[in-house]
Amino acid sequence: AQSVTQLDSHVSVSEGTPVLLRCNYSSSYSPSLFWYVQHPNKGLQLLLKYTSAATLVKGINGFEAEFKKSETSFHLTKPSAHMSDAAEYFCVVSSNAGGTSYGKLTFGQGTILTVHP
């Protein structure tokens, strides 16, 4: 079984300050992990993914995430927030277990990021 917990339902930052969105996961197998973003009235867009290569993963728009197995975490960061980063962010784990659930995504509850001018 696998699960994802996003530790903050809302995060508010000022433009130009760092962003930290926290995610912890649970997985019986070595996980594949993703961060997706959903802007208002848009579909989910992939920001970045971890697939057991480098533990520090760089994504689009200046975001990055670090896979920490010892802490079962995959936190998303960005050094300097921009107004256009305001959106909902989802931490996602993909099932590496065999069988019919192989590749099935399990989502966290989502974190709404607000960016103030």
Partner 1 sequence: EAGVTQFPSHSVIEKGQTVTLRCDPISGHDNLYWYRRVMGKEIKFLLHFVKESKQDESGMPNNRFLAERTGGTYSTLKVQPAELEDSGVYFCASSPLWRPTDTQYFGPGTRLTVL
Interface residue with partner 1 among 1, 40, 56, 100 (CB under 8 A) is 100
Backbone angles phi, psi at 83, to 5 degrees: -55, -35
Which of 40, 41, 56, 70 is in the footprint of partner 1 by CB under 8 A? 41
Residues that bind partner 1 (rule: CB under 8 A) add up to a total of 26
On whether the CB atoms of residues 35 and 61 are closer than 8 A, the answer is no
**Residue 62: strand, helix, or coil:** helix
Identify residue 109 by its one-letter amino acid code: Q
* Distance of alpha carbon 14 from alpha carbon 107, whole angstroms: 27
Residues 64 to 93: which contact partner 1 by CB under 8 A? 90
Q: 50 forms bridges with which residues in the sheet?
A: 33
Among 40, 42, 56, 70, binds partner 1 (CB under 8 A): 42
Closest CB to partner 1 among 86 and 105?
Answer: 105
Region binding partner 1 by CB under 8 A among candidate stretches 16-24, 33-41, 62-70, 75-83: 33-41
Work out the burial of residue 7: count CB atoms within 10 Å of its CB; fewer than 13 is exposed, 13-18 middle, 19 or more buried.
Answer: middle
User: Does 54 participate in binding partner 1 (rule CB under 8 A)?
Assistant: no
Q: Does 110 bind partner 1 (CB under 8 A)?
A: yes
Q: Checking DSSP bridges between strand 32-38 and strand 87-94, what pairing results, if any?
A: antiparallel
Return residues touching partner 1 (CB under 8 A).
Answer: 32, 34, 36, 41-46, 49, 51, 90, 94-96, 100-110
